Amino acid sequence: MKPNHYIFLLLSFFLLSFSNGIAQETVSYPKNEFRAVWIATVVNIDWPKSGKDPIEKQKSDFIEILDTYKKLNYNAVIVQIRSVGDAFYPSKLAPWSKYLTGKEGKAPSPYFDPLEWMITETHARGFEFHAWMNPYRATMNLNTAELSPDHDYFKHPEWMIKYGGKYYYNPALPEVQTHLINVVDEVVRNYDIDAIHFDDYFYPYKIPGENFNDTASFKKYGEGMSLPEWRRYNVNNFVKYCSYSIKSIKPWVQFGISPFGVWRNKSVDPRGSDTNSGQTNYDDLFADPMAWMEHRWIDYLLPQLYWSIEHKTASYAKLIKWWAANSTNTAIYIGNGSYKVNTDSDKKWFNPNEIPNQIDMTRSYKNMGGNAFFSAKSFVNRNKAVTDLLLENQYKYPALPYVVPNFRKTNIEYPIISNIKSNKTTAAVTLNYPSLSKIRYVMVYGAKNSSKLDINDPSQIVDKIAFKEKENSITINVQNNLLEKNNICAVSFIDYYGNESQATLVNKPIEIKTFQSSLNNENR
């Protein structure tokens, strides 16, 4: 039997406009909110579960992570693609990661580009893909026999400093900084990523009784600065020129950093937080997020507040208040320690409401735009009491990430519908090809009647569909069961910066009976 065909009766272009605020509002269900999860690959924390797993299993495991967080209404993944001078992609500057293939320098077999594949699968589910790199860490141990001959340890031994049972790139050397910026550039140029992401590993965390031996470099390049000032200068220089380089290649690609959660303790600096942290960004890691924000070198800052709300020495409540009061010029999100749920010595993490309460607290500050969670395995078939609470409450509906800071636009093209065909399961909607705006997604909204259609209401999000075609028109496929729940629908475009167009309103599909032509097999 031939399937019935459906037509969307297009109303004379009724355009829905809306605002897209920069700051997180204190509302139950925000339309815009950053909801991310870190996917750690180093020592196979989250993915792949083993570098020796067959590729099909690795792919299946990655998709399971994406689908888990898609169901939880997350909208971004932060995927570790370089952790120890290696790469999860074909690179001219680093060997293949052993965490991917079981042996450093060994390519996947059968061959494929894991990064390109991950980005495609991620965008297909409506997520942003943030490419996470550890710039300075070169190895996880001192067993150099495990390294590929193409690793920088062998190619440039003069770049390496041994510390704490690992090797690190020397942040002071101009040639190291140039090399690491080239590593970033290679990914930005070759891949359709949404962001470059660094975590908290700049100068390594201090180890009692051991010195980071950069004395010769300090003597050569110190130029009268104190050692701490000079080290911060090195990190700031690297951050600055990474930022400039990223934006010169693809201005829509964000640059984000997730520093350790404590800048300085108040006992050391009256501007610091009311904490008693054993190590801090400024004094121990020689990272200064305040400078990065002041000079607008980053698009977002994501401090790691991996403590419970009432923690005695580093309270989540006190720290988020401090970051809210001391942030400027950039988007601010908060990193949450979901890995601690039901496992930590702090018994507050055994309360399933700890994470939901931390999200509510984040939302109470207007300049806080969302949360990211370390790490992915925390909610994959685990901690159902927490995920049920999130899905029933804080993350009941989808949300869109924010526009890239300083790139807000209001004049991007809106969809023009040229044709719609439907079979039993899907409606194929053909839209104009946008010639002036670089489009990432098509949004679909639905409501029971036109008077209630509000595309600022996240409960009315029907689907977020990745833009793929590069022709004169584009076709999106929407599941009929989603459309049939609604009497009125609208579609909009989202560009590479996250700007959303005005929306074109369409009504519910009307069933059209078809007949078999006596002249040929076409349906008339």
Per residue in 291-333, pLDDT (tens digit) is 999 999 999 999 999 999 999 999 999 999 999 999 999 999 9
Domain 5-16+408-512 has CATH 3.40.50.10090: no
Residue 445 has pLDDT above 90, yes or no: yes
Res 16: pLDDT: 61
Nearest to 311 by CA among 347, 278, 281: 347
Pairing of strands 439-447, 160-163: unpaired
- Sequence-distant (6+) residues with CB within 8 A of 523 are 2, 5, 514, 515, 516, 517
pLDDT band (50, 70, 90) for residue 517: very low
Give Cα 341 distance to the centre of its chain: 22
Q: What is the DSSP letter of 264?
A: -
Distance, first Cα to last Cα, the chain? 15
Span 378-421, pLDDT tens digits = 999 999 999 999 999 999 999 999 999 989 998 899 999 988 88
The per-residue pLDDT for range 69-108, each reduced to its tens digit, is 999 999 999 999 999 999 999 999 999 999 999 999 999 9
Q: If you average pLDDT over residues 184-189, what whole number do you get? A: 98
Question: Does 471 score more than 90 pLDDT?
Answer: no
Specify which residues 160 forms β-bridges with: 169
Please report, for the chain, the start and end positions of each structural domain, with discontinuous segments joined by +.
5-16+408-512, 34-392
Per-residue confidence (pLDDT) for residue 469, from 0 to 100: 65
Hey, what amino acid is at 76?
Answer: A
Which helix (H) or strand (E) segment holds residue 489: the answer is strand 488-495
Confidence of residue 508 (pLDDT cuts 50, 70, 90): very low
Residue 273: is its pLDDT beyond 50? yes
Query: 432-439, long-range: CB within 8 Å, 24+ apart, which pairs?
Result: 432/473, 432/474, 433/469, 433/471, 433/472, 433/473, 433/474, 434/493, 436/412, 437/412, 437/413, 437/493, 437/495, 437/501, 438/252, 438/495, 438/496, 439/412, 439/413, 439/467, 439/493, 439/494, 439/495, 439/496
How far apart CA 305 and CA 314 sit, in angstroms, is 8
Query: Tell me, what's the pLDDT at 456?
Result: 94
Q: What confidence score (pLDDT) does residue 521 get?
A: 30
* Entry field: residues in the chain: 524
Q: If you average pLDDT over residues 233-240, what whole number do you get? A: 98
Report residue 492's pLDDT band, with 50, 70 and 90 as the boundaries.
very high
Architecture of the domain defined by 34-392:
Alpha-Beta Barrel (3.20)
Give the tokens for residue 317.
Answer: 């409540």
Structure tokens belonging to residue 296: 């607008």
- Per-residue DSSP letter, 451: G
Distance CA 118, CA 110 (A): 16
Instruction: Tell me the mean pLDDT in the region 200-229.
Output: 97
Does 9 have pLDDT greater than 90?
Answer: no
pLDDT tier, 507 (very low <50, low <70, confident <90, very high otherwise)? low
Torsion sign over Cα 478, 482, 488, 490 = negative
Residue 285 reports pLDDT greater than 80? yes
Q: Express the helix, strand and coil content of the chain in percent, nearest 5 each.
A: 30, 25, 50
Q: What is the pLDDT of residues 21-39, one digit of tens each?
A: 445 545 589 999 999 999 9
Q: Residue 467: its pLDDT value, please? A: 86
Cα 196 to Cα 209: distance, rounded to the nearest angstrom: 34
Edge to edge, what strands does the sheet with 488-495 contain?
10-16, 503-507, 488-495, 439-447, 461-466
% of the chain surpassing 90 pLDDT: 80
Residue range 45-62: mean pLDDT, rounded = 98
Asked whether residue 367 carries a pLDDT value surpassing 50, the answer given is yes
